[in-house]
Structure 1
Amino acid sequence: MANRCLICDKKKQVGVSSRHHRGVAGKQWMKRAQKTKRTFSPNLQWATVDGIRIRVCAKCLKLIKKEQPKGNLPEIASK
């Protein structure tokens, strides 16, 4: 199963995680903060829309819950 929202197509993103090191007098480059790559995952939740179970991000789930009583549901991408 893809780690992706079916409505807005939000997916994993790559970013940088860095640590905070305070400077040392005179030798600030010896204690330089390390930077490592990491992934940021979307906040995916299971939701049932029109009897279909789909994985959507929390932002789209909020939109679905807001629009469901009115009947204005967003288009679901069929993939």
Structure 2
Amino acid sequence: MAYICDNCRKGTVSGRTSTHHRGVAGKRWKKRAQVTLRTFAPNLQKIAVMVNGKKTQMKLCTDCISKFKNVGKLAPKHTTALGMPL
């Protein structure tokens, strides 16, 4: 299973770490920290979503979760065996 949002396909991206630049006299900038590679991962959550009237579980990023909350497509938290909310 990939670490990708099921809705917008947002995934991990590689980049570099950033440091605070201290440009002062005395050549202290030569002793700065190394720039190393790192990965930026999306904030994924497992959420129950209503798809075609059925409750399915999807991995969504928090941006998509807030969009789904505005539209009202999230499944209710507690449902009976017939799928009706309590």
Into which bin does the TM-score normalised by the smaller protein fall? Answer: 0.7 to 0.9
| Corresponding position of 2:76 | none
Residues matched between the structures, number: 69
The residue type paired with residue 6 of structure 2 is L
Q: What TM-score, normalized to structure 1? A: 0.73
| Corresponding position of 1:75 | none
| Corresponding position of 1:64 | 68
Identity %: 46
Moved more, 22-31 or 10-19: 22-31
Cα distance between partner residues in 2 of 1:63 and 1:33: 39
Q: Deviations over 1:8-67 (max 9, x none)?
A: 000001111033353463434531331000000001011111200000000000111110
| Corresponding position of 2:77 | none
Structure number, greater radius of gyration: 2
1:24/1:54 CA distance change after superposition, 3 Å: same
Bigger RCO (CA 8 Å, 6+ sep): 1
User: Which consecutive segments of 4 or more residues in structure 1 shift more than 4 A?
Assistant: none
RMSD over aligned Cα atoms: 1.9
